[in-house]
Structure 1
């Protein structure tokens, strides 16, 4: 009888413990999960908030950085083109130690005739630096030729003004008696659109100031060794 009672007691104790651990396990797991999801929720809310603030800050800083970068880049490009323009206009012969006769003009396109060799009639609006042709004056017009394959790259538009720099080899004396020249727009010719007065007083002011400074430097001092 005593053995039966002990066995029954252990059996009931086992059921009780199983039940207890099961209930405690479920209860504990529930509390744990609730706590975990709550903490995780708070963490996610905090994370998204911080991330949102971070992204806002990042885009703001990035926006300021891009604005600054483009501004600096714009100034850099203006400075680079100006220096490069001066450099191209003042090339030196390393073998003969003489200055190449590079002509530098500000011109206005009067007309354009398309053919195998395109023909442009350009009015000289400013003589910045004389080349092989002496005595050329503002207001005079000259003929410029370019291969038809270069038309899309040149994109010379009537009534617009351009800066043109070309070496002596791109100038042909077609009449020695009148000293008349025809100019070639070749691979060594620098062609750059000169902004209009409206653009110079607004969006392209800095570029115009750079072009005018370069033109003044070449007109006043030429190419100094």
Structure 2
């Protein structure tokens, strides 16, 4: 469970997140929608522990982020453009990232790549990947350590129609396995097909909550 209570973030006189409260549970996909600058990405960065709140709290399984835990455990994310080393293959990039936590085997990395439609044995450098392939690799990175919570900022960008269908199936499968997924997207179709509950944001506030 993820509990956000009266979350606010200010930078000087500017309020970028304003008094947000929500309770999110496993086995659901939650959508964040709103124009650029509405606060979607900032909210995700705060859930990840990258940005500290000015007031309010974020609790993950009852533990207060920034107090009981410094960073959330078992969380995967793709936020903005994933940063990969262009001179290495997709597998090697994920291997480098997996070495940070030493949680998973080479085979688990390979499996994550296969799930998103990438060949783990390909020697092609990421610098020569298409935008869609880089997006797939970003999703593989987010899911490879089998996180309980996934934060996905525009995860279907750059994918062709076939790729969009494939990744939608992956996300729905992860939902069925009990993952809690937060998805920010400008695509009305993606939001309608994937999300159980949608939060509409504007100027750092939740202005509407809708159930699909």
Give 1 or 2: higher helix fraction: 1
Q: Which bracket does the TM-score occupy, shorter chain normalised?
A: under 0.3
> More relative contact order in 1 or in 2 (CA 8 Å, sep 6+)?
2
TM-score, with structure 1 as normaliser: 0.21
TM-score, with structure 2 as normaliser: 0.21
Give 1 or 2: higher strand fraction: 2
